[in-house]
Amino acid sequence: MKKKRLLLLSLVVTMGILLVGGGITAQAKTANKTVTFAQLTNKNTNRLAAIRQAAREQILKQTKAKSSKVAAVYKVKLPKHMTKKATLTANGLRMNLLANSFKVKQITIPYAQLQGKILNRYLPKANRTTHVKTNKMVALTFDDGPDPTLTPKLLKTLKKYKVHATFFEVGQSVSRYPKISRAVLAGGNELGNHSWNHPDFNTIGTARTVSQITRTNRAIFQATGTLPQYVRPPYGNITAAEGRAIEQPIIRWSVDSRDWSYLNTTKDINEVMKDTHGGDIVLMHDIHAQSVAAVPTIIKRLKAKGYKLVTVSQLLNYQALPGLQYFGAGDYRTAGK
């Protein structure tokens, strides 16, 4: 009887040790770790700007801010020095903030929002970027919407053929048709900033360019509850100073359909098919009936060639950074150059 009691006691003690040890191990894996931004970014200033971009989104979400606060979030002082520190936690990157109008002292940016922005080794495996073959990937993009009739028609086409695209929308149109902007995202597509009313940034100066972008970001946030990640400058024109000031990745293109000049469905199809190869970003417009009518044939012909139609984020493997402009997969340079 005594032997049985001793054996039982021994088993209980052993299980207790294992449980405690397991708890210690689990806790160790999720223990907070202090790191510098130099470590997180490998001293890359574009990556640090991407962290600031993610931080602004998180401040708005964490405070459940209204769209009227979008302009204010760009005035919050965020880290610009590599020696500053943050904390890796189980839920994301925790950052302390200086005094600000949101009255927020601390934010935690989910790791999912930092994919491609900080080095892989600081991310959970589920959020790390991996090598992507882009030789059979093409990103269709559409500018100048939303249009109350043509954009919904285009969304139906994309849904029918089970593909996604990226829409660069004009702020004043987003304000008029917010439901359509929401429908763009609801369909699994991306939505980017294409200025407020389509001026040439090269002619209006940095301050007015930033105002154009901020005003449109506010309209998109009001319509969808999210800030757009990307900016496409009208006519593709942007200066280096504007690129630095905007602090969002700039998306250009490698295939220009010039659909606005032809207004001819057959010619639109031929121009896109003639010039498009793997890794390309194709520029079209969802405000011209002829362009929207060309999309079903373009999709079918590209698919027949083995291409997968993806969003800009997918094509760029979620690694686009502020201060840089992207023309296609692996084709980028400093904004304004």
Q: Work out the mean pLDDT of the chain and round it to a whole number.
A: 92
pLDDT tens, residue by residue, 117-163:
999 999 999 999 999 999 999 999 999 999 999 999 999 999 999 99
Determine which one of 143, 144, 280, 286 is catalytic: 143
Return d(Cα 249, Cα 104) in angstroms, integer: 26
pLDDT number for residue 40: 98
286 is catalytic: no
Query: Taking residues 270-279, what's their average pLDDT?
Result: 98
143 is catalytic: yes
| pLDDT at residue 2 greater than cutoff 50 | no
Return d(Cα 82, Cα 76) in angstroms, integer: 18
pLDDT number for residue 31: 67
The residues, any chain, with a CB within 8 Å of residue 261's CB and separated by 6 or more, are: none
Query: Taking residues 62-84, what's their average pLDDT?
Result: 97
Return d(Cα 280, Cα 283) in angstroms, integer: 10
Return d(Cα 279, Cα 132) in angstroms, integer: 11
pTM: 0.90
Determine which one of 144, 194, 280, 285 is catalytic: 285
Higher-confidence residue of 161 and 13: namely: 161
pLDDT band at 23 (very low <50, low <70, confident <90, very high): very low
Which domains does the chain show, CATH number per domain? 33-125 (3.90.640), 137-334 (3.20.20.370)
Higher-confidence residue of 65 and 24: namely: 65
Closest C-alpha to 196, from 223, 177, 214, 216: 216
Report the 10 Å Cβ neighbour count for 196.
22
pLDDT tens, residue by residue, 203-252:
999 999 999 999 999 999 999 999 999 999 999 999 999 999 999 999 99
Return d(Cα 237, Cα 99) in angstroms, integer: 36
